Amino acid sequence: MIENIELEKCTSCGICDDVCPADVIHMEPAPIQAPINGLTRTKLLPVIKFREHCITCFSCEIFCPEQIVDVHPSVKNRPRPW
């Protein structure tokens, strides 16, 4: 099951959202520090929205170019072949 995303290193590419077959990860606007002190702006960052739907397929971890997604091998919801 997906455990964590190191958001500090995220480039907002959105690949983890695109490849997730269970719609667990959603890109959402988050406030970040702007280069000028006192100003903020927003950036799209991945949010683990529906962790309980994760089928532990590892796609987000495998395809993240920054290798910052951590999926734990414990399986809770993987569909059974029977």
In sequence order, what DSSP letters do the residues of 18-59 get, joined into one string?
HH-TT--EEEEEEEEE-SSTT-EEEEEEEEE--GGG-----H
Q: Which one among 12, 33, 40, 42 touches ligand SF4, defined by CB under 6 A?
A: 12
- Least Å distance, CB 69 to ligand SF4, is 5
Cα 7–chain centre separation? 9
Site for ligand SF4 in 31-60 (CB under 6 A): 46, 54-60
Report the interface residues with ligand SF4, using CB under 6 A: 2, 5, 10-16, 19-22, 24-25, 46, 54-60, 64-66, 68-69, 71
